[in-house]
Amino acid sequence: MDLGGDSIKVAMLSPIAWSTPPKKYGPWEYIVSLLTEGLVKRGIDVTLFATADSHTKAKLHAVAPRPYEEDKDMLVKVYECLHISEVFERAKEFDIIHNHFDYLPLTYSALVDTPVVTTIHGISSRKILPVYKKYNNRTFYVSISDAYRCRDLDYIATVRHGIDIESFHFNEKPQDYLLFLSRLHRDKGVREAIEVAKKTGRKLRIAGFIADQAYFENEVQPYTDNNQIIYEGHVDPEYKKELLSNAYALLHMINYDEAFGIGVVEAMASGTPVIAMNRGSMPELIRNGETGFLVSNIDEAAEAVQNIDSISRKACREHAEKHFSVDRMVDEYIKVYETILEKRKREEKRPWGFYEVLMEKPGYKVKSLTVFPQGEISLQRHAHRNEHWYIVSGEGLVTKNESKIRVLPGDSVDIPVNEIHRVTNIGGQNLVFIEVSRGDYLGEDDIERLEDKYGRT
């Protein structure tokens, strides 16, 4: 991918909770690493903003010497602020800033001209949505599954995670144990996996980072016996792959609507079927009855264990190869970058926001206009065209000669030739409307500005 012969320059903003790639746990950093290395292989110029102990073939820029989860003496907010500021202070060096750091970097995005795309790996609470809403349509959002899209936000694409399939050993002759592989937290259903193991009389091996110590001590540890229920600890990547490859089945008994399940995909890449609760993104990852089973409760999961032999381990591997390779993920992100850069070429920025020409033919033109909060288009009139406005989102105040009209989504306004008019965004979100112009001349210079808060009269 290049721009006029020059390789596109991407700033890849990784979290700093863990190194990139992580030594053990760190799903966001893991995906950032796979994407970064995949882009570098394609000849794309990537600068990875991550912890100093990260490893990459891209250019590495670091402020945090190590992950803050591994050094409790680090003041998290200090290093987060320094880390994010480094990216945006260098914004002019890049064509795209790809944010994997959640919502905080969005608050810097309006200060730079470089487009920002954010992969929303997870929304920890609806309380963070006001930030995402504020920068909706001013930046670009990518979802990691269709199930995890928020209805309040607009997305440029869904790009499901991909993994390095070849690094996972395919095993057609597994051992007889069940496997739980994830962080140890109530959301992930460790206790439910234990119940399934007990109902079926099978061994369960548990591996993962203890994310909730109290939950572990009360709901998991009392049932471990180093015989049937075994806690393997927080394992490294190689031991994780060994556990996945040899497992009879992976139990993924989640208690929430999960955005994605990297461990689910890794299991299938190893040939291991997955038994998962039918929630969140699971139907997008697992083919029920072909690569595992989607269940609604513990009893159904126990029954599914008895039917695992009906699942072809080869089919699991082939499914992962076809749908969840790192190459497929890289391809799709490159398309996202291309779409954003092409869209930016078509957009014209103004002090109040920006517009995009959607269609232009002799006698008419269709545009999408976005007015930022507190922004307003100048008081103006046109000598050669009339306009029809349709409000898509936001809240505005339209001036028509001496009248003022409050407009909301679904409202429309007609502006005849020579009528004095203006629109002001009076809401807290972007005001977006479609403008259809008709006339004998549609050039942008057919504007007589009468008043303008930006000094353009």
Angle CA(84)–CA(86)–CA(92) in degrees, nearest 5? Answer: 110
Tens digits of per-residue pLDDT, 136-158? 888 999 999 999 999 999 999 99
* pLDDT value for 4: 43
User: Is residue 2 predicted with pLDDT exceeding 80?
Assistant: no
Tens digits of per-residue pLDDT, 373-399? 999 999 999 999 999 999 999 999 999
- Length of the chain in terms of residues written: 457
Sort strands 178-181 and 249-252 into parallel, antiparallel or unpaired. Answer: parallel
Tens digits of per-residue pLDDT, 194-248? 999 999 999 999 999 999 999 999 999 999 999 999 999 999 999 999 999 999 9
d(CA 57, CA 36): 8
For tokens 């970058």, name the residue. 337
**More confident: 160 or 356:** 160
* pLDDT value for 5: 44
For tokens 């119940």, name the residue. 195
For tokens 């599914």, name the residue. 304
* pLDDT value for 106: 96
- Could you tell me if 63 and 82 are in contact, meaning their C-beta atoms sit under 8 angstroms apart? yes
Tens digits of per-residue pLDDT, 270-327? 999 999 999 999 999 999 999 999 999 999 999 999 999 999 999 999 999 999 999 9
- Global pTM reads 0.77
Q: What residue type is 60 in one-letter code?
A: L
* Residue whose C-alpha is closest to residue 121's, from 12, 259, 252, 255: 259
